[in-house]
Protein backbone atom coordinates (compact mmCIF):
# COMPACT_ATOMS: atom_id res chain seq x y z
CA UNK A 1 0.00 0.00 0.00
CA UNK A 2 1.58 3.25 -1.09
CA UNK A 3 1.32 6.63 0.61
CA UNK A 4 -1.29 7.99 -1.82
CA UNK A 5 -3.64 5.14 -0.93
CA UNK A 6 -3.14 5.69 2.79
CA UNK A 7 -3.92 9.40 2.48
CA UNK A 8 -6.94 8.69 0.28
CA UNK A 9 -8.34 6.26 2.86
CA UNK A 10 -7.67 8.73 5.68
CA UNK A 11 -9.44 11.56 3.86
CA UNK A 12 -12.41 9.33 3.03
CA UNK A 13 -12.69 8.25 6.68
CA UNK A 14 -12.72 11.91 7.71
CA UNK A 15 -15.43 12.78 5.17
CA UNK A 16 -17.51 9.74 6.17
CA UNK A 17 -17.18 10.72 9.83
CA UNK A 18 -18.37 14.23 9.00
CA UNK A 19 -21.36 13.04 6.98
CA UNK A 20 -22.45 10.56 9.65
CA UNK A 21 -22.21 13.04 12.50
CA UNK A 22 -23.71 15.89 10.50
CA UNK A 23 -26.54 13.57 9.49
CA UNK A 24 -27.44 13.32 13.17
CA UNK A 25 -27.76 17.11 13.33
CA UNK A 26 -29.87 17.20 10.18
CA UNK A 27 -32.07 14.41 11.50
CA UNK A 28 -32.70 16.26 14.74
CA UNK A 29 -33.58 19.38 12.76
CA UNK A 30 -35.98 17.47 10.52
CA UNK A 31 -37.69 15.74 13.46
CA UNK A 32 -37.89 18.89 15.58
CA UNK A 33 -41.37 19.98 14.37
CA UNK A 34 -42.74 16.50 15.02
CA UNK A 35 -41.09 15.72 18.36
CA UNK A 36 -40.98 19.19 19.91
CA UNK A 37 -44.56 19.98 20.83
CA UNK A 38 -43.75 23.00 22.98
CA UNK A 39 -40.75 25.24 23.64
CA UNK A 40 -39.47 23.08 26.51
CA UNK A 41 -39.42 19.95 24.32
CA UNK A 42 -37.69 21.82 21.51
CA UNK A 43 -35.07 23.17 23.91
CA UNK A 44 -34.35 19.64 25.22
CA UNK A 45 -34.01 18.27 21.68
CA UNK A 46 -31.72 21.09 20.57
CA UNK A 47 -29.61 20.71 23.73
CA UNK A 48 -28.95 17.06 22.82
CA UNK A 49 -26.89 18.16 19.83
CA UNK A 50 -25.52 21.35 21.41
CA UNK A 51 -22.22 19.93 22.69
CA UNK A 52 -21.49 18.25 19.35
CA UNK A 53 -22.64 21.01 17.01
CA UNK A 54 -19.28 22.64 16.28
CA UNK A 55 -17.28 19.47 16.82
CA UNK A 56 -18.77 17.95 13.69
CA UNK A 57 -17.30 20.67 11.51
CA UNK A 58 -13.82 19.82 12.80
CA UNK A 59 -14.03 16.61 10.76
CA UNK A 60 -14.68 18.65 7.61
CA UNK A 61 -11.89 21.14 8.32
CA UNK A 62 -9.47 18.30 9.06
CA UNK A 63 -10.42 16.54 5.82
CA UNK A 64 -9.84 19.76 3.88
CA UNK A 65 -6.46 20.25 5.55
CA UNK A 66 -5.46 16.65 4.86
CA UNK A 67 -6.54 17.03 1.24
CA UNK A 68 -4.47 20.21 0.95
CA UNK A 69 -1.42 18.49 2.45
CA UNK A 70 -1.65 15.18 0.58
CA UNK A 71 -3.21 16.13 -2.75
CA UNK A 72 -2.69 19.84 -3.51
CA UNK A 73 -3.89 19.39 -7.10
CA UNK A 74 -7.25 18.05 -5.84
CA UNK A 75 -7.52 20.92 -3.41
CA UNK A 76 -6.71 23.55 -6.06
CA UNK A 77 -9.13 22.05 -8.58
CA UNK A 78 -11.98 21.56 -6.14
CA UNK A 79 -11.84 24.89 -4.35
CA UNK A 80 -11.06 27.04 -7.38
CA UNK A 81 -14.37 25.91 -8.86
CA UNK A 82 -16.21 26.87 -5.67
CA UNK A 83 -14.29 30.07 -5.04
CA UNK A 84 -17.23 32.47 -5.41
CA UNK A 85 -19.69 30.48 -3.22
CA UNK A 86 -17.02 30.02 -0.54
CA UNK A 87 -16.23 33.73 -0.65
CA UNK A 88 -19.91 34.55 -0.22
CA UNK A 89 -20.22 32.12 2.69
CA UNK A 90 -17.28 33.64 4.51
Q: Give the percent of the chain with pLDDT over 70.
A: 99
CA 24, CA 74: separation in Å to the nearest integer?
Answer: 28
- Evaluate whether 14 touches 62 at the Cβ level (below 8 Å): yes
Length of the chain equals 90
- Evaluate whether 7 touches 66 at the Cβ level (below 8 Å): yes
pLDDT of 86 above 80: no
- Evaluate whether 56 touches 14 at the Cβ level (below 8 Å): no
At 39, is the secondary structure helix, strand, or coil? helix
pLDDT of 45 above 70: yes
Q: What is the pTM for the complete model shown?
A: 0.75
Nearest CA-CA partner of 29 in 3, 51, 49, 8: 49
Predicted confidence (pLDDT) per residue in 2-34, tens digit: 999 999 999 999 999 999 988 888 888 898 889
Nearest CA-CA partner of 50 in 24, 16, 30, 19: 24
Amino acid sequence: MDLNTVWFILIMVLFIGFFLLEGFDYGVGILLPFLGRDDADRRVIINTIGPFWDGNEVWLITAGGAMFAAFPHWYATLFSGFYLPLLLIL
